[in-house]
Amino acid sequence: MLAVVCSAACSGGSTPGAPDTAERYQTGGGAGSGPMPPEMPMTGPVPPDAPKAPPAVQRDVIKTASVTVTAENPTSAADRAADLATDAGGRVDSRTEYGGSVLDRARITLTLRVPADKLDGVIDGLKELGTVDALDMRVEDVTSTRVDLDARIKALQTSVDRLLAIMRDAQDPSALIEAESALSQRQADLDSLRAQRAALGEQISYSTVTVELIAPVVGGPAPERYQGFLGQLERGWDALVDAGSNLVLLFGLLLPWMGAAVLALALLFGLYRLVRARRRG
């Protein structure tokens, strides 16, 4: 009886025609076998010793621009250009005005400093001041200069810190004097590099814009009351009146000389007649 039970159990545990699960996945065949499971991607934390991508270097550029505009009224246009700079968070570094002459046109030159990220907007505003005669925009990459200055500043700061530590621990007066002398030189170099770095950073942050505003005609810009046809008519009348006034002033200037000339001519004429009368007599 026990032998029969064992035989049945053994025959039930290994049913013919039903291959083992591992065997099905290995062969991939058989009537009851399914497809092999997809290979799962390997996931997990990145090893701490894995190589890291190099950090991206920040590019530093200096932007400059030069704009020449012909404006009906350079003075008013210059005021608007200054407002464009201040509204953008910048400033006006210089302003030079030339009133014009009979041979040259009036002009105003401005040097503006505006935030670099707002340069394009300021340029667009300057284009609306009149007719653009010339526009020049330049970009200079100073990344290597900035990196070099930062590295030199860091090295000098480390050297200064070491000299300060030596001075604190120095027992020999001569060594202390030498350390002080070296510290003075290193500190001066460090201050110079910091000043250069600050100036470079200011040039990177603020773009320089040179604006030249020129009157359309020789002789200076037309005032506000001379705009339009009627304004030009009034300007011509005023010019005629000014010319008449200048002639009157010139006559007043020459009148004493004319009187002296008439008197001199009268004396000469009298002498001439006197000499002639004596010759006849």
Mean pLDDT for 219-244 is 72
Length of the chain: 281
Q: Would the pLDDT of 16 be above 60?
A: no
> 40 or 106: whose pLDDT is higher?
106
Q: Is residue 87 part of a domain?
A: yes
SS3 56: coil
Residues 117 and 131 grouped into a single domain: yes
Residue 260 belongs to a domain = no
Burial (CB count within 10 angstroms: exposed 0-12, middle 13-18, buried 19+), residue 104: middle
Number of domains in the chain: 2
CB 25 within 8 A of CB 19: no
Range of the domain at 66: 61-140+206-218
Q: Is there a single domain that holds both residue 121 and residue 214?
A: yes
What is the CA angle 60-202-138, rounded to 5?
55
Conformation bin of residue 28: beta by default, left when phi > 0, alpha when psi is -120 to 50: left
Residue 208 reports pLDDT greater than 70: yes
151 and 73 in a single domain? The answer is no
Give me the residue label for tokens 């040259």: 104
Rounded to 10°, the helix 143-169/173-205 angle is 160
Q: Dump pLDDT digits (tens) for 61-116.
A: 999 999 999 998 999 999 999 999 999 999 999 999 998 877 788 899 999 999 99
Say whether both 189 and 92 belong to one domain: no
Q: Cα-Cα-Cα-Cα dihedral of 28, 30, 32, 37, to 10°?
A: 0
Angle at 138 between CA 135 and CA 139, to 5 degrees: 155
Strand spans (E) along the chain = 61-70, 91-98, 105-115, 131-141, 206-218
Q: What is the structure's pLDDT at 222?
A: 55
Do residues 91 and 126 share a domain? yes
Pair (110, 66) in one structural domain? yes
| 77 lies in the same domain as 128 | yes
pTM of the predicted structure, to 2 decimals: 0.55
Q: Is residue 159 part of a domain?
A: yes
Rounded distance, CA 217 to CA 130, Å?
A: 14
C-beta neighbour count of 151 within 10 angstroms: 10
Q: Are residues 83 and 212 in the same domain?
A: yes
Residue 26's pLDDT band, with cuts at 50, 70 and 90, is: very low
pLDDT in tens, 115-148: 999 999 999 999 999 999 999 999 999 999 999 9
The yes-or-no verdict on residue 31 having pLDDT over 70 is no
pLDDT of residue 214: 94
Same domain, 105 and 210: yes
Residues 131 and 158 placed together within one structural domain of the fold: no
| Pair (100, 69) in one structural domain | yes
Q: Can you list the alpha helix ranges (DSSP code H) found in 128-227? A: 143-169, 173-205
DSSP state of 96: E
For residue 130, the domain's CATH number is 3.30.70
